[in-house]
Structure 1
Amino acid sequence: MNSIDAVILEVADLAAATRFYSAVLGPDSPYLRLRASGDPTTGFRGFSLSLVVSQPGNADALIKAALDAGATSLKPASKSLWGYGGVVQAPDGTILKVATSAKKDTAPVTRDFDEFVLLLGVEDVKATKQFYADRGLSVGRSFGGKYVEFAADPGHVKLALYKRRALAKDVGVSAEGTGSHRIVLSGAAGPCNDLDDFAWEAGAGSSLAATA
């Protein structure tokens, strides 16, 4: 299957972003790379990053690390029908959700996470699902025109699609926004731009530390 090798975030302050994401994800994260960019952007950029963890304590530990490194809380961590989680916004504007389906801790607390998921907020979930299926991505789960999750190779970023307004509501921000997404996807589907102008480039392995 085709996978996302890494998410490339375009940031105005490369040094500050490197410090933040190194503090939260570790300096050698294979999932995230950073690139300097001054492209104008306002409001919601149409995506969020999600860390799926095994228990609430791990979610709390990652959220605390993000807040200590300068993030802003959008949704404080809390219990819900589906589990436990919270949402923060990084200093560069990227929205980061940390969540688990577990209701209680069953192991020592760590800052480990099980999945790194990129959620794209799109106008037409069905059409975008077909766009990516045509480029070799395998659908893992699909709920009509509301949500699609693609399968991912181990150690790669998982891609999911959500209606733009539904995603904005889920992370606690207004859906309005203009300008650059400030994100590029690195993987086998590239180079291309999808129906919502999210850009892909050909995959090339690199770590967060190597780009700073």
Structure 2
Amino acid sequence: MPTTIASITLDVPDPTAAEAFYDSFGVGAHVRVRAAEAPTTGFRGYTLSLVVSQPNIVDTFIGAALDGGATALKPAKKGFWGYGGVVQAPDGAIWKVATSSKKNTGPASRQIDDIVLLLGVEDVKASRQFYVDHGMEVAKSFGRKYVEFATPPANVKLALYGRRALAKDAGAAPDGSGSHRITIGSAAGPFMDPDGFAWEAASV
């Protein structure tokens, strides 16, 4: 079995408020938070994505996030790839909600098909090799542009994208420095990857 992500922990200034936001957003079961004031400015170098089955589910999650105090970075709309939008949580984390479908085939639900952690890296090829060396299995690869790793059902997917391309996709300026304010839990940890993302030991 390939190495998998067991948990995602976000550093936030107010854990109680963050927990309330993520519960109302609908992802509280998948995200942990902890108090931290690590210095950070601008783009943190990653996004979290919810992949769902149809547009009205995208609208449900985006609406819940905005009602909870999130900021719209990209309003939900149709594109050649499907339908989706991007929001920034009150703690600063960027979330994309998207579907490859352009039509609704049933009532809206809060069903999440996949959660994807997309890391914006300086060298996709080098980071791919780093993660392969740490037990990840490549599922999709587009040269130096994009890599997605194999993930069993009900686990957080890991993917790599160029930092500037990821920021553009998220509707954010690419510049940023300081802490990523995210820690990835996995049986493969602890280690620090080439772009400064921290992994900690966690049971899957």
Task: State the TM-score bracket (shorter-chain normalisation).
Answer: over 0.9
Task: Point out 4+ residue stretches in structure 1 off by more than 6 angstroms.
Answer: none
Counterpart of 1:138?
137
Counterpart of 1:22?
23
Counterpart secondary structure, 2:125: helix
The whole-number CA distance in structure 2 between the counterparts of 1:17 and 1:104 is 32
Counterpart secondary structure, 1:118: strand
- Structure 2 gaps of 5+ residues are none
Counterpart of 2:153?
154
Counterpart of 1:183?
182
The answer as to whether partners of 2:187 and 2:203 remain within 8 angstroms in 1 is no
The whole-number CA distance in structure 1 between the counterparts of 2:166 and 2:84 is 15
- Shift in Å, 1:112: 1.2
**Cα deviation digits, residues 157-177 of structure 1 (max 9, x gap):** 100000000000000010000
The whole-number CA distance in structure 1 between the counterparts of 2:79 and 2:165 is 17
Bigger relative contact order, structure 1 or 2 (CA pairs below 8 A, ≥6 apart) = 1
- Shift in Å, 1:188: 1.9
The whole-number CA distance in structure 2 between the counterparts of 1:103 and 1:172 is 21
Aligned length: 203
- Structure 1 gaps of 5+ residues are 206-212
CA spacing shift, 1:119–1:134, aligned 2, 3 Å? same
**TM-score normalised by L of structure 2:** 0.97
1:72 aligned to 2:76? no
The whole-number CA distance in structure 1 between the counterparts of 2:34 and 2:138 is 29
Aligned sequence identity (%): 60
**Cα deviation digits, residues 82-136 of structure 1 (max 9, x gap):** 0000000000000000000001011211121100000000000000000000111
Counterpart secondary structure, 1:19: helix
Match runs of 1:37-186 below 5 Å: 37-186=36-185
